[in-house]
């Protein structure tokens, strides 16, 4: 299945979650109204399966990943010992594209994914072009001098109010994963238990 490339507002409204990485008053007002001319009328009670499916779709939309990738990630976690929900969040958060976004080098995960794919991101000084690359603790992420000159990136780098999550450390144009993320480090806009139940069917 191809990655969704249509209007982000439409996708956000379909999933009922803000995936735009910024606040939009227009979107906040319409977030719970499905897209389309019959959006308000179309709301109906979902089955148990339908509720689980929506939560899974929210997670995929939030992190911008495909079904095959997400299914593989959940199945990998289910084989491990530990708290499944926390491990899912941990793997999603330590994707290279997500960390580039979390470190404030890109204004959205979509932009971060493009930077990685186009060769502007390095791990320990070595170029990595795979957005889904799982970053390990203490690996240093940096961005190319070319992309640092991008006006949007330059503005982001000078932002002193950026909120850096506790499992990340950033210094200038580089940063690193200092420990694996925990569920309490961030609020995810989807129900992990329902996602686990969906893939356990």
Residue 92 is encoded by which pair of tokens?
């999603």
Q: Is 185 domain-assigned?
A: no
C-alpha span between 173 and 101 (Å, rounded)? 13
Q: Is 2 domain-assigned?
A: no
Q: Are residues 111 and 155 in the same domain?
A: yes
Q: Are residues 145 and 120 in the same domain?
A: yes
Q: Is 162 domain-assigned?
A: yes
Q: Is 52 domain-assigned?
A: yes
> Is 169 exposed, middle or buried (CB count within 10 Å of its CB: 0-12, 13-18, 19+)?
middle
The percentage of the chain sitting over the pLDDT mark of 70, rounded to a whole number, equals 78
Question: Residue 145: its pLDDT value, please?
Answer: 96
Q: Are residues 146 and 164 in the same domain?
A: yes
Q: Is 110 domain-assigned?
A: yes
Q: Are residues 119 and 154 in the same domain?
A: yes
C-alpha span between 131 and 68 (Å, rounded)? 15
Q: Which range of residues forms the domain containing residue 50?
A: 8-91+190-199
Detail the DSSP E strand segments found in the chain: 121-123, 126-127, 140-143, 168-171, 174-177
Q: What is the pTM (predicted TM-score) of this model?
A: 0.79
Q: Are residues 70 and 130 in the same domain?
A: no
Mean pLDDT of 165-181: 96
* DSSP character string of 28-79: HHHTTS-SSTTTTTT--PPPHHHHHHHHHHHHHHHHT--HHHHHHHHHHHHT
Strands of 126-127's sheet in order across: 126-127, 121-123, 140-143, 174-177, 168-171
**Residue 113 DSSP one-character state:** H
Q: How far out from the chain centre does Cα 36 lie? A: 26
Q: Are residues 133 and 121 in the same domain?
A: yes
- Residue 135 confidence class, pLDDT cut points 50, 70, 90: very high
Q: Is 82 domain-assigned?
A: yes
Q: Is 184 domain-assigned?
A: no
Q: Are residues 175 and 109 in the same domain?
A: yes
Q: Is 43 domain-assigned?
A: yes
Question: Residue 18: its pLDDT value, please?
Answer: 64
What's the structural domain count of the chain? 2
Q: Are residues 78 and 126 in the same domain?
A: no
Q: Are residues 87 and 99 in the same domain?
A: no
Q: Are residues 31 and 87 in the same domain?
A: yes
Q: Are residues 118 and 48 in the same domain?
A: no
Asked whether the predicted pLDDT for residue 7 surpasses 80, the reply is: no
R_g of the chain computed on alpha carbons: 18
Per-residue model confidence as pLDDT tens digits over 14-65: 666 666 655 566 656 665 666 666 555 655 678 999 999 999 999 999 999 9
CA distances, 115 to each of 36, 142, 145, 148 (Å):
33, 11, 12, 11
Here the CATH number for the domain that contains residue 155 is 3.10.290.10
Residue 122 is encoded by which pair of tokens?
């390095």
Per-residue model confidence as pLDDT tens digits over 73-103: 999 999 998 899 999 999 999 999 999 999 9
Q: Are residues 85 and 15 in the same domain?
A: yes
Here the CATH number for the domain that contains residue 40 is 1.10.1050.10
């Amino acid at each position: 299945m191809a990655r969704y490339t249509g209007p982000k507002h439409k996708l956000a409204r379909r999933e009922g979650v803000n995936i735009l990485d910024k606040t939009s008053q227009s979107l906040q007002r319409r977030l719970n109204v499905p897209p389309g001319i019959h959006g308000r009328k179309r709301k109906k009670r979902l089955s148990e399966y339908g509720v689980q499916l929506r939560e899974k779709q929210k997670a995929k939309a939030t992190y911008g990943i495909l079904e095959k990738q997400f299914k593989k990630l959940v199945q990998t976690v289910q084989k491990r010992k530990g708290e499944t929900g926390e491990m899912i969040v941990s793997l999603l958060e330590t994707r290279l594209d997500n960390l580039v976004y979390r470190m404030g080098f890109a204004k959205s995960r979509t932009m971060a994914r493009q930077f990685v794919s186009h060769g502007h991101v390095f791990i320990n000084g070595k170029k990595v072009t795979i957005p889904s690359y799982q970053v390990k603790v203490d690996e240093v992420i940096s961005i190319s001098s070319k992309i640092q000159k991008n006006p949007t990136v330059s503005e982001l780098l000078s932002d002193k109010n950026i909120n850096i999550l506790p499992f990340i450390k950033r210094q200038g144009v580089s940063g690193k994963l200092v420990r694996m993320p925990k569920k309490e480090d961030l609020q995810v806009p989807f129900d992990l238990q329902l996602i686990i139940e969906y893939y356990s069917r």
